[in-house]
């Protein structure tokens, strides 16, 4: 009888104890479910601890790829698959990839952005891409001896205010940011000069010089190639940037019919220039 009573007592105590533990667990879960910030902090701490332990084990095994891996790195990559672009953009991206020996995925993203920016800025996207081609050959880390940086070779120290919305001057080496700032500068230059050819002269910093060293001719020649590619024409990737003089004649006649800069504009100090005369 004594043993039976002790057994029943232990069973009752165990039953009540388990019920208490269950109620406590339910209460804790309900508390965390109602406290989003607390739950997020606990989850982040637990995830961080597990990730740290995983990286330590991988590093001890000599596997640095796991130890320094970032699953979100792909979100920072400037890339797009050419097959996802419209026909015109895909043709241009593939041609630029072969011409300048760069990967098609990042060039596809740049082409896609140039089309979107061109529509908003009312600039031909092939002009934007031609400027990049001449300025940096699509090297986002390019820098000139005078400090012009990135895809569009923008003078970062002159246009540092334009990078403030993107986090500061180091954003000059982010391809899309540099492209957006460069397009704004190019648009301002064209508006001030009154023509595309004059705007290119301003853009390269040659507004106060007799000529731009052939810069505008190179850009416009490259743009003519890109227009043909976008139209579905076959253009050799080895074709020179500058058009032969016979092919330049129609473009020159068109430029002469374009309103010229206001008198005295080219003799005034220019601060819009993205690059400097090379």
Greater model confidence, 32 or 148: 148
Residue 22 has pLDDT above 90, yes or no: no
Class of domain 82-267: mainly alpha
Greater model confidence, 133 or 31: 133
Q: Which residue do the tokens 């690059």 mark?
A: 275
> Are 266 and 197 spatial neighbours (Cβ–Cβ below 8 Å)?
no
Residue 227 has pLDDT above 90, yes or no: yes
d(CA 206, CA 208): 5
> Are 109 and 77 spatial neighbours (Cβ–Cβ below 8 Å)?
no
> What's residue 267's pLDDT?
32
> What's residue 230's pLDDT?
97
Residue 54 has pLDDT above 80, yes or no: no
d(CA 168, CA 198): 30
> What's residue 259's pLDDT?
36
pTM for this prediction: 0.69
> What's residue 197's pLDDT?
95
> Are 90 and 82 spatial neighbours (Cβ–Cβ below 8 Å)?
yes
d(CA 254, CA 25): 80
d(CA 249, CA 247): 6
Predicted confidence band of residue 69 (pLDDT cuts 50, 70, 90): low
* Interacting residues of 277 by C-beta distance below 8 A, sequence separation 6+: 204, 205, 206, 209, 212, 213, 215
H or E element: which one contains 155? strand 154-155
Helix (H, G, I), strand (E, B) or coil at 237: coil
d(CA 135, CA 148): 9
Domains in the chain: boundaries: 2-74, 82-267
**Helix, strand, coil distribution of the chain in percent, nearest 5:** 65, 0, 30
Instruction: Please state at what angle helix 87-100 crosses helix 104-121, rounded to 10 degrees.
Output: 130
CA distances from residue 235 to 17, 121, 147, 265 in whole angstroms, order as listed: 82, 27, 33, 38
> What's residue 67's pLDDT?
57
> What's residue 261's pLDDT?
34
Q: Pick the range with the lowest mean pLDDT from 95-99, 130-134, 208-212, 254-258.
A: 254-258
> What's residue 260's pLDDT?
35
Greater model confidence, 4 or 153: 153
> What's residue 43's pLDDT?
76
> Are 175 and 106 spatial neighbours (Cβ–Cβ below 8 Å)?
yes
Q: What is the mean pLDDT of residues 184-190?
A: 95
Q: Which residue do the tokens 């007799």 mark?
A: 210
> What's residue 256's pLDDT?
39
Residue 262 has pLDDT above 50, yes or no: no
> Are 258 and 199 spatial neighbours (Cβ–Cβ below 8 Å)?
no
Q: What angle do CA 224, 150, 244 make, to 5 degrees?
A: 25
Q: Which residue do the tokens 């908003």 mark?
A: 120
Q: What is the mean pLDDT of residues 35-46?
A: 73
> What's residue 68's pLDDT?
63
> What's residue 251's pLDDT?
41
Helix (H, G, I), strand (E, B) or coil at 36: helix
Greater model confidence, 75 or 79: 79
Predicted confidence band of residue 207 (pLDDT cuts 50, 70, 90): confident
Residue 254 has pLDDT above 70, yes or no: no
Two tokens, residue 59: 């590093």
Q: What is the mean pLDDT of residues 102-131?
A: 96
């Amino acid at each position: 009888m004594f043993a039976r009573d002790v057994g029943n007592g232990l069973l009752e105590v165990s039953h009540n104890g388990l019920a208490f533990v269950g109620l406590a667990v339910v209460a804790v879960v309900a508390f965390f479910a109602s406290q989003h910030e607390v739950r997020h902090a606990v989850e982040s701490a637990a995830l961080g601890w597990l990730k740290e332990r995983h990286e330590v084990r991988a590093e001890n095994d000599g596997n640095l790829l796991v130890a320094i891996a970032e699953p979100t790195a792909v979100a920072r990559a400037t890339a797009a698959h050419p097959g996802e672009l419209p026909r015109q953009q895909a043709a241009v991206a593939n041609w630029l990839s072969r011409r300048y020996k760069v990967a098609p995925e990042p060039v596809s993203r740049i082409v896609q952005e140039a089309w979107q920016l061109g529509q908003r800025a009312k600039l031909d996207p092939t002009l934007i891409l031609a400027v990049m081609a001449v300025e940096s050959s699509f090297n986002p880390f390019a820098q000139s001896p005078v400090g012009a940086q990135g895809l569009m070779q923008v003078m970062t120290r002159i246009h540092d205010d334009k990078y403030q919305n993107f986090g500061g001057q180091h954003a000059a080496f982010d391809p899309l940011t540099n492209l957006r700032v460069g397009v704004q500068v190019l648009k301002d230059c064209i508006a001030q000069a009154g023509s595309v050819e004059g705007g290119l002269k301003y853009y390269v910093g040659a507004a106060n010089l007799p000529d731009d060293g052939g810069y505008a001719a190179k850009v416009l020649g490259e743009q003519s190639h890109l227009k043909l590619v976008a139209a579905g024409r076959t253009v050799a990737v080895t074709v020179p940037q500058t058009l032969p003089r016979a092919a330049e004649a129609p473009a020159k006649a068109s430029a002469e019919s374009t309103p010229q800069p206001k008198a005295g504009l080219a003799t005034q100090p220019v601060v819009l220039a993205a690059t400097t005369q090379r």
